[in-house]
Amino acid sequence: MDISGFTAACAKRFCPECGTAIIQNKRGRPRSFCSDRCRWAFDKRRERQKVKEEKRNENSRTESAAGQCSETGCV
């Protein structure tokens, strides 16, 4: 097994939020998080980052629009 396969296999066995080892169920879909608490925290953090990114993009658009207007002589 090459190192990328090993890394991928390891990544599936640890919680992406807290790093705790995940105990898989014997049946059904494999678990991605160790608990609901970590799943909720992960989703909340991802949502906050998305909002932050949208604000950053919005600010850069308004700044670039203001810069274009001043170059063309707009008031």
- The amino acid occupying position 10 is C
- Average pLDDT on 42-54 reads 93
Mean pLDDT of all residues belonging to the chain: 80
What per-residue confidence (pLDDT) applies to 56?
86
Residue 63 to residue 55: CA distance in whole angstroms: 12
Residue ranges per structural domain of the chain: 3-72
Q: Regarding predicted confidence, which is higher, 70 or 63? A: 63
- The amino acid occupying position 64 is S
Q: Which neighbouring-strand residues pair with 14?
A: 21
How many beta carbons lie within 10 A of that of residue 17, not counting itself? 18
- Average pLDDT on 37-55 reads 94
DSSP string, 8-64: HHHHTTB-TTT-PBP---SSSSPPSSSSHHHHHHHHHHHHHHHHHHHHHHHHHHHHH
For the entire predicted model, the pTM comes to 0.57
